[in-house]
Every structure is written in C-alpha cells, then in structure tokens.
C-alpha cells in the first residue's frame, strides 16, 4: 500500500471539487473585534473585518469576562490538573454548572469541553441507561448529534427536516412500549431556521418520549435571560435535556447539558466522553460563568444583535441577493457552486478586507454552497456599508444571479 499516494488522491479530490478547506491566520485584538489582523502567506499583514465568527455578541472581549478569567488564572494557574474525577473539579466548574442550571430552569447541568463532546457523549450513552431506546433524529442535526446517535449501538430513525407528520408516522410504527427520545435543534445554523419545539413536545407527550434539544446557536441570544428559543417560547419545562455551548454567544469555550439531577448524574457516571476527558481550565470556567451571569440581564445586547441581523438581511434583499431568511440572526447568501463560493470568499478578503468562510459540502448539500454571515452588535454602520457595497459589486462582477430571496 502506498499510503502517501492515497493521501494525495484524497486531497486531490477535494481540490478538483473546489471544496478544499483553507485556514487563514487571524489575530483577534482585544477591544477591537470584529476587526482583526490577517497574516498573509507572504508574511505581510492586513487589517480585516470578521463577518463569520460565532462570538455573536462580542463577549470574548467583554471586560466582565476578561476580569473573571484573569482573577482565576492568577489564583489557580493554567490547567485544571485532570479529569473531573481526578482533581479536575473546582469551585469554578461548580459555579458554572450552577449558573447553567439556573439559566435553563433545570435541577442540574453538566459541563463538557465542547458542545460537540456534550452531544456525542450524551447521545451515545443514553441507550446504556435506557435499554432498547429508539432515537428519532432530524435529518439536518449537527454532525455531533449524528455521531452520537450513530455510535450508541441502538435503534435510530431519521425524520425529514422539521417534518412533524413524518416524525409522528415513524413513532407510531414502533413498539409503544419501547423507550424513545427525539433529538433536534432550536436553530439550524446553515439555513437559520427554527425547529418546531412545541409540536415535537406534543409528540413526545403522546408517545411517552424524552426530548433532547441542541440550543447552541440560540443560548445567550434568545429569551428574556438568554436561555434560548425554548425560553423565548415558554417551553423549557417540556424539554428533558438541553444542550448548549459556551463558545458562541458566551465568547469563551466549552459545552454542557442541563437536565434533572438524576439524568446529569447518570451521564456523569456512564459517559466515557465525560469520565476520561480533562476538564476545562478554571480560568475558562470562570470566564464562562461570568458571561452567562452577565447575559442573563443583557436584553439590550440581544435586541441590538437582532436589529443588526434584520438590517443586513433587508439591505441584501434590496440588492436582490439570494438570501435565506427564517427570522433568525444567521444570514446565508446562496451561491450554489463550490468554486464560485470560494472565489467570492477570496475576493472579499483580498480586495475588501472582509473575512467570511465559504460553506461547502459536506457541511451543506451539494448545490447549496453559500456564504454565511453572522452580524453582531459590534459590527457598526461603517462595517455594514462596506460589506453591502462589496457584495453588490462582486455579484455584478461575477455575473451571478439575483433573486428576491432564496427561501
């Protein structure tokens, strides 16, 4: 076996399809985000504006978060020293879990190193706790949920995206006595559409199923205290397990689930992804706790975020660009070709200092390639004007189609 040849062939396929992923060197500057510095391959530097980040509210540079992290770093040092079972549980981790449990109105929360690990570890562990469990998973669920469901060794059913009738038909066809769980998201990040939370909860009640919701693109940004879409809609009490992230709106790092005491205790005791993973550094946990606590009372920041998203969508629609608008903060502009998408991304960066990554297969289906913008309260009128004018010019330059809207 020529292993090097096989690697070359695998990478060549990506290049040929126009979906080889490149990373650029970005230096975020404290207090200046969304502005950053791009170090080009030749070593020269260029000022850029980041339009595709997940630090949705700019909390990665909020003084409240930085001060909490600095205090914890001075007090405890860099790392946690081990897994949660081996010296890796500190007052900072417990404080963060208490903040998260309070946020979601649950008895407990369990902290992981990322929301990906939280999804994977929890969903792959649940069949151990409920033998014979059938998991019903939305077809557009995040890769971490898909992986957790795939690895659990139990039965799974995939229902068409947001299709409650299809989900009901699948559930009705299964053994009424079998334990069941419905796994879905509140906001699907590629199109920015919302999951039908209330209708799914109704089905869960009808068929005696547990509910598992991923709120990673909603926590911090929706609801009176930022607990997500389920809080906004008054539905948190109907959800058994809520997954969230600390790496997007909260501006730090980590993931979690919030659930009953017994559910968190069981996952803590059985999930290898929790048991054998070194815990977050105390300074990170301290910063995350400060961010969660701060955003519980920051309605004005959430309102400003939604306003920026509405303004950007309105202006892009006014130019006839094919955007998808489901009413969330995510602004996808459809291109439909991986080569063109990469070309637009490169031209925005090199000619206009605007950084937005191309979104290609397998993140989205072939033929739906796009640029995905994430406006935030720290993107001001000048940044918005620059982006809109650049998109208008490049769309004409590349002779791409214009439409009222994509969806």
List CB contacts of 181: < 8 A, sequence separation 6 or more: 126, 130, 133, 134, 135, 136, 209, 210, 211, 212
CA distances from 10 to 20, 91, 206 (A): 10, 46, 47
Catalytic residue among 180, 248, 313, 342: 248
The residues, any chain, with a CB within 8 Å of residue 319's CB and separated by 6 or more, are: 388, 391, 392, 395, 402
CB-hemisphere CA count at 13 Å for 352?
23
Q: How many CA atoms lie within 13 A of 169 on its CB side?
A: 7
Task: Report the greatest alpha carbon distance in the chain.
Answer: 65
Q: Of 250, 208, 273, which is closest to residue 99 (Cα–Cα)?
A: 250
Name the nearest CA neighbour of 191 among 357, 367, 332, 365.
332
Distances, alpha carbon 174 to alpha carbons 1, 134, 151, 168, 398, in Å? 46, 9, 21, 10, 51
How many Cβ atoms from other residues are within 10 Å of residue 293's Cβ? 17
Q: Is 299 a catalytic residue?
A: no
Half-sphere CA count of 61, side-chain side, radius 13 A: 15
**Residues with a known catalytic role:** 248
């Amino acid at each position: 076996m020529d292993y090097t040849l096989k690697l070359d062939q695998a990478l060549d396929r990506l290049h040929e399809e126009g979906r080889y992923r490149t990373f650029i060197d970005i230096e975020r500057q404290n207090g200046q985000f969304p502005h950053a510095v791009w170090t080009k391959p030749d070593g020269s530097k260029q000022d850029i504006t980041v339009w595709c980040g997940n630090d949705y509210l700019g909390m990665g540079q909020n003084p409240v978060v930085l001060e909490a992290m600095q205090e914890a770093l001075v007090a405890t040092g860099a790392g946690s020293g081990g897994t949660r079972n081996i010296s890796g549980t500190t007052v900072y981790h417990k404080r963060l879990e208490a903040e998260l449990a309070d946020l979601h109105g649950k008895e407990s929360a369990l902290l992981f190193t990322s929301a990906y690990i939280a999804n994977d570890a929890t969903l792959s562990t649940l069949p151990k706790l409920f033998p014979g469990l059938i998991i019903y998973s939305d077809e557009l669920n995040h890769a971490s949920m898909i992986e957790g469901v795939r690895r659990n060794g139990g039965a799974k059913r995939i229902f068409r995206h947001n299709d409650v009738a299809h989900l009901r038909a699948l559930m009705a066809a299964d053994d009424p006595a079998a334990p069941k769980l419905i796994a879905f998201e509140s906001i699907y990040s590629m199109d920015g559409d919302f999951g039908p939370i209330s209708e799914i909860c109704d089905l869960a009640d009808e068929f005696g199923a547990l509910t598992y919701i991923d709120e990673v693109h909603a926590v911090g940004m929706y609801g009176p205290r930022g607990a997500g879409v389920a809080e906004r809609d008054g539905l948190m009490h109907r959800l058994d397990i809520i997954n969230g992230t600390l790496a997007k709106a909260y501006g730090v790092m980590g993931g979690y689930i919030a659930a009953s005491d017994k559910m968190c205790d069981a996952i803590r005791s059985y999930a290898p992804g929790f048991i054998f993973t070194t815990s977050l550094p105390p300074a990170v946990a301290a910063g995350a706790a400060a961010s969660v606590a701060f955003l519980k009372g920051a309605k004005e920041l959430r309102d400003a975020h939604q306003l920026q998203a509405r303004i950007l969508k309105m202006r892009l629609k006014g130019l006839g660009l094919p955007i998808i608008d489901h009413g969330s903060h995510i602004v996808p502009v459809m291109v439909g070709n991986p080569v063109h998408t990469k070309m637009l991304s490169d031209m925005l960066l090199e000619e206009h200092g605007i950084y937005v990554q191309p979104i290609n297969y397998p993140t989205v289906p072939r033929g739906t390639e796009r640029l995905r913008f994430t406006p935030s309260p720290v993107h001001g009128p000048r940044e918005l004007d620059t982006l809109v004018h650049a998109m208008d010019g490049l769309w004409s330059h590349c002779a791409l189609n214009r439409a009222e809207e994509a969806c």
